[in-house]
A and B are shown apart, each in its own frame.
Chain A
Amino acid sequence: MQDSTRSSSSRRCWMRWLNEADEVSMNHRKIEGNEQSIFARLMGYAKPYMSSLILATVFMLITTALELYAPIVLGDAIDSFTEGAEFPQILNLGLIYLSALVGMFAFYVGQMWLLGKMGQDIVYNMRAEVFAHIHSMHLGFFDVTPIGRLVTRVTNDVEALSEMFSGILVRLVKNAVKIAGLAVVMLVMNYKLALRAFILIPLIVILTFMFKRISRTCYRITRTKLTAINTYLSEHISGMKIIRIFDREHEKNQEFKARSMDLFKANFREVMVFGIFRPSIYLLSIIALINIIWGGSELVFAENSVAGTGITVGVLYVFIQYVSQFFEPIQDLAEQIGTLQQAFASAEKIFMILDEEPAIVNKTEADKTENTSGGILGRIEFDHVWFAYNGEDWILKDVSFVIEPGEKVAFVGATGAGKTTILSLVGRYYEVNKGRILVDGRDIRDMNTDELRRAIGQVQQDVFIFTGDIAGNIRLGNSEITDEEMKKAAQTANADSFIEKLEHKYAEAVSERGSTLSAGERQLLSFARTLAFDPKILVMDEATANIDTETESLITEALERLMSGRTTIMVAHRLSTIQHCDCIMVMHKGRLREKGTHQELLAADGIYKKLYELQKAAG
């Protein structure tokens, strides 16, 4: 009846099913033969805990020995009853039995604690490793890999390994030892009866493994059906408007019923498989019992007539106990092999991520040491830069320009002209395909990326708000920024005006999804964030979102303060900002087409003039 409640496992949210179903189809290319190397690599994680592992195995062996010994004490007790023993002798046996049990309890607890701790430590370490590794990847990696999949690697896939380390490994050994131990003890006690007991073993093994196979297949099918119905549900709940508009409620109800029936059938099959298997195994255990009683009683009869030719009733009793113990480890073994396979599948996916090399790395050891003393002045040069996100789809075509320290440059152009890409390339989030980018005369590929990025302040168009409070979102967890500095940054960025109006001021809780901040407020917050880090170079993607006029003037004012004394590269949309720039670069279809001040460009009567008129018309 132990299979009856599996409530807690069903609590996992449906998203995970969807995720995993997706993984199944992803993993067709799984290589069958490398299980050994995966195992070896997994064991590498257990190396630091070798002493725990060995100690736990010793504990396990002791518990197993005691487990085998306990029924013998009972058998002795029975024999001593038939021999008419005195009470002290019985008391003695009872106490021996009790101390064996206490010993078993203590060692078992010790073993579980050691292994549980080891398992959780390994999970903890692996998580940190996978998380750090993913963060070391370049931006292009995040562009092509769905975030959900990465999250699954760090969370569920690693979780699947915990069971392997804290349970399966040692239990596998334990069950093997237990089966062997039982066999040896039985053979020593009476080889004839032992051999008789072994007759059924092949049958148990075959039945168990056959069942495991079928039940796992059934389970998979059920899960796929469940995924199907969950996908159907989430799709149709989102698409309910369409269903209503097209008056298809009746049709969809029928369709759902058909799917629901499908799932029911899969569930039904599963119930039936268990319903047939469990009683069959039970019946088999009864047959095993009968087998032992039958053979055993013959031997007892023999012993009764000629001493030394058979067994005592006590021995028979021990055998009866042992026979029922044979079933458990065999069924466990089948279960554990299954879990092990799942763990391997997860491990393979994790290792696949870990084996992925980050495309942007610091070149040599020497460059990894940060050169903070000199600092970056902020001269930026693009030297015949070509860039494509993939293949030959050039986003930038042969772009060259120089920006002197302290200069303010605006990039303008239609959507898709390559403006935003230029901003990403300056911080080396992507590698250029041809040409080079120089900061203060040094190729950025020869610089330490941390040093480079620290010198560049990014004001993003889409401000990402982390869960936490306002203060945390300004200093981004950098503890070197004091409260004063943080508040000063907010004041300079004109963000304090709205922050002061919040109920908890700087401690107001915010998050990406539950954010109540307006687009303008987010922009101001982003200014404050950048100011707090005091960069030499300012890289800015101006927000295009609708901003009310009051905030607009706050932004313009803050922007001026932000830009003063810094080399500024911006993608500009507002006429007001463009006109204040030292130089305007006009991008058109991946090329730098025009360059000059606002007045010069207007006089040239080219693309810029058109853009300018368009802005005016829209404004």
Chain B
Amino acid sequence: MLWKYVKKYRRQYICGILILFAVDMLSVYIPQFTGEVTDGLTTSGFTSSDVGRLILLIFLCGLGMAVGRFGWRWFLFVTARKIEREMRDEMFEHLTGMTQDFYNKNKTGDLMAHFTNDIASLRVAIGPAVISSFDAIVMTVLVLTKMILYINLKITVIACIPMLVILAGALYYCNVAEKYYTDKNNAFSDLSDRVQESFSGVRVIKAFVQEKHEMEEFDKVNSKNRKMAMRVVKLNMVFGPGIELIIGICRAITIIYGGWQMIEGQLSLAQFIAFNQYIGMLVWPMIAVGDSINAFSQGRAAYGRIRKIMDEKPEIEDTGKDNDITSLEGEIDIRNVSFSYVPEYGNVLDDISVHIDKGSTLAIIGKTGCGKTTIANLLVRLYETTNGTISFDGHDIKEIPMDTLRTEIAYVPQDNFLFSDTVQSNIAFGVRKWMEIPEEKFSLAKFRGKETIIAEIMDENLKKRAEQVDKAYGDLEQVEEAAKTACVHDNIIEFPNKYATIVGERGVTMSGGQKQRTSIARAIMKKAPILILDDALSAVDTDTEEKILENLKTDRKGKTTIIIAHRITTIQNADKIMVIDDGKVAELGSHDELMKLGGIYARLYEKQQLEKMLDEMAE
């Protein structure tokens, strides 16, 4: 996977590395020319035109390096960012292809970490670390060659011995620092967890008057955190100045040994000055080597984690994708269906059989956790049945292409999940096909450092863009119609931006009932032959519920509807009512038939009548 990208961008890599090489070559010349000037000034016959010539050379070197430095940034940093982006896209695409089991296994937080931390580590390894390591190697070789050829071997060897200490130190430091920083971060997250728990349990703490004890407990993590932070401080406190000390030792050796060599006539002043500068140039490569070794190993670990996710295959294959079934009539047959999420925990559904005629309404009722939602999940093939078959119009569910199945079924799930988008976009969610929307341009000059304004502008941009999207699709009329059927239109037009209002944290926070009705509108908008309402009216008051059911009656005329509910009032008019108890079909029939039976259904009815009476009692 990674190799593919490196191959794709190999030209950029090669160019970048070549430029890097050239910049390093140039950089050695500046100390040399500077040395030549100071050297020349001590000799007679050195004129200002000589100075001018050398100055020009220095300038040209500097200019070349400046351009080159921009160049390798362009080739290598930008390429690393490009690869990062493409991998991010590929990962997301992979995620949208995965089935429910995958999401049950992998927590959202963990998946997010792959997108943030792991990709970032990987990017460092394929971008900056490549530069650091190449740069370090090239620089070391070049500077050493210069030192040996232009100056002399003896002083190079003697003066550079302390450099090895830096290299060893950098390697050691990167290793230890990694551990210390991890410890520090762990101590910090322990602290966060402790604080989080303490504030979450504040009611218990107050009730048992344990504030003092909490302080003591907090003091432990707080002290630990301080200790770990101090370890890092101590490490950096020795390492940073330590490097300077070692360079200083190199310089002192140069002064003493170089001075001796000069007296002996083995070294000129220019060589001495240049040598001093070369020593300075060796410091960075020594640190960089340690640093990039570290970055590479982290990148490798991150890549391993990403690979693990990318290698997972979806559990449900689109087995019917080649069949030519493009629409469904609405007849459903569920035959002897059993299902278990985890085999060891036994069946959630046990031998369920029911036939739903085209255009009829089936209601499913039962206690929480009895398996009602599972039936709905099986119908849209989020899971495969363990035993038995589900068929639509006589076709087995496995023979129907996944996109046909899901286009032809409109589903209102229990959890009313809405996206942080406009109300209009949310309702039209199931209908819109992808369309390219031009990006909002915004210039840097507008912000001029006023940081708090940026968030506002970004919010404004979000809104503008969302409105632009809705306008581009031009489906407001249909959306309104669906909203009216779901009895949410009146609420929406009271929102500040009506249908262009953003739902969620950045816009309007909808009540549970409004969310539920919006979610119903989203399903209605699909005008699909099959509609499944999974406990979709629980947060709606009885009057509105009645109205919605009335609207649905006309809207769903001739189409199949499945209603899962708790309240009898919601379902008593259904053609067929199925009572599920403990995963089995306990009762099946119309309202009147079930009332006559005097079983679970009849008892439930009685209870709900009592509740209603109590509710209607005056204050």
Contacts and interface: CB of A to CB of B under 8 A. Distances in A.
Interface string A244-281: 11111111111111101111100111010011101110
Interface in B184-231: 185, 188, 191-193, 195-211, 213-219, 222-223, 225-226, 229-230
A499 B219 CA distance: 30
Contacts of B88: 260
- Size range of the interface on A? 35 or more
Given A217-B454, A233-B112, A617-B606, A98 B252 contact: yes
B92 A262 contact: no
Given A8-B181, A240-B103, A313-B38, A255 B434 contact: yes
A352 interface: no
B256 A607 contact: no
A102 B247 CA distance: 11
Contacts of A257: 89, 92
A1 B30 CA distance: 17
26 contacts: A1-B288, A5-B129, A7-B121, A7-B124, A21-B455, A82-B42, A108-B241, A109-B237, A109-B241, A116-B233, A124-B223, A127-B222, A131-B198, A139-B206, A154-B191, A221-B458, A231-B420, A241-B413, A241-B417, A247-B402, A257-B92, A313-B38, A414-B615, A460-B204, A610-B610, A617-B607
B524 to A, nearest CB: 13
A467 B458 CA distance: 40
B92 A256 contact: yes
Interface in B73-102: 73-74, 77-78, 81-82, 84-85, 88-89, 92-93, 95-100
B257 to A, nearest CB: 8
Given A120-B230, A264-B82, A246 B429 contact: yes
A608 B285 CA distance: 84
Interface stretch (B56-64, B493-501, B553-561): B56-64
A267 B81 contact: yes
Contacts of B111: 233, 237
A253 B244 contact: no
Contacts of B613: 610
Interface stretch (B259-267, B343-351, B542-550): B259-267
A157 to B, nearest CB: 12
Contacts of A610: 610, 613-614, 617
Contact of A113 (B97, B237, B259, B619): B237
B430 interface: yes
Given A77-B255, A240-B95, A217 B449 contact: yes
A154 B444 CA distance: 34
B48 A298 contact: yes
Nearest to B114: A233
Contacts of A262: 439
B295 A5 contact: yes
B65, B109, B208, B459 pick with most chain A CB within 10 angstroms: B208
A247 B38 contact: no
Interface in A483-533: 512, 529, 533
B58 A293 contact: yes
Given A109-B241, A238-B417, A297 B116 contact: no
Contacts of B181: 8
Nearest to A535: B208
Contacts of A294: 51, 55
Contact of A134 (B85, B112, B199, B238): B199
Contact of A116 (B191, B234, B417): B234
A66 B198 CA distance: 50
A293 B452 contact: no
Nearest to B87: A260
A235 B402 contact: no
A592 to B, nearest CB: 12
B195 A151 contact: yes
Contacts of B213: 476-478
Closest 7 CB pairs of A and B: A286-B62, A90-B259, A101-B248, A116-B233, A94-B256, A279-B66, A247-B406
- Size range of the interface on B? 35 or more
A610 B613 CA distance: 8
The dominant DSSP class at the B interface is: helix
A13 interface: yes
Given A105-B245, A224-B455, 7 more contacts: A241-B382, A282-B66, A286-B61, A460-B203, A512-B201, A617-B603, A618-B607
A264 B81 contact: yes
Contacts of B237: 109, 112-113, 116
B605 to A, nearest CB: 10
A385 B93 CA distance: 59
B150 interface: no
B617 A607 contact: yes
The dominant DSSP class at the A interface is: helix
Nearest to A153: B195
B419 A235 contact: yes
Contact of A11 (B108, B185, B202, B219): B185
B55 A217 contact: no
B311 interface: no
B78 A271 contact: yes
A177 to B, nearest CB: 18
A326 interface: no
Contact of B202 (A87, A135, A154): A135
A289 interface: yes
Contact of B200 (A28, A116, A313, A512): A512
Interface stretch (B164-172, B268-276, B353-361, B593-601): B268-276
Given A97-B248, A234-B112, A454-B209, A289 B439 contact: no
Interface string A186-220: 00000000000000000000000000011011101
A134 to B, nearest CB: 7
A94 B51 CA distance: 30
A93 interface: yes
Interface in B521-565: 522, 526
A381 interface: no
A94 B255 contact: yes
A148, A241, A294, A589 pick with most chain B CB within 10 angstroms: A241
Contacts of A240: 95-96, 98, 103
Interface in B291-307: 291-292, 295, 298
B236 interface: yes
A151, A263, A274 pick with most chain B CB within 10 angstroms: A151
B432 interface: yes
Interface string B418-454: 0110000000011011100101000010011101101
Interface in B149-167: none
Contact of A112 (B236, B262, B505, B526): B236
B242 A279 contact: no
A151 B196 contact: yes
A266 B38 CA distance: 46
Contacts of B78: 268, 271
B202 A251 contact: no
A611 B607 CA distance: 11
B611 interface: yes
B77, B82, B100 pick with most chain A CB within 10 angstroms: B77
A101 B249 CA distance: 8
Nearest to B408: A247
Contacts of B403: 247
Contacts of A13: 109, 113, 116-117
A166 interface: yes
Given A1-B132, A97-B248, A234-B112, A78 B269 contact: yes
A64 interface: no
Given A300-B41, A476-B208, A279 B70 contact: yes
Contact of B406 (A95, A134, A245, A316): A245
A317 B255 contact: no
B85, B263, B611 pick with most chain A CB within 10 angstroms: B85
A178 interface: no
B487 interface: no
Interface string A156-186: 0001001000100000000000000000000
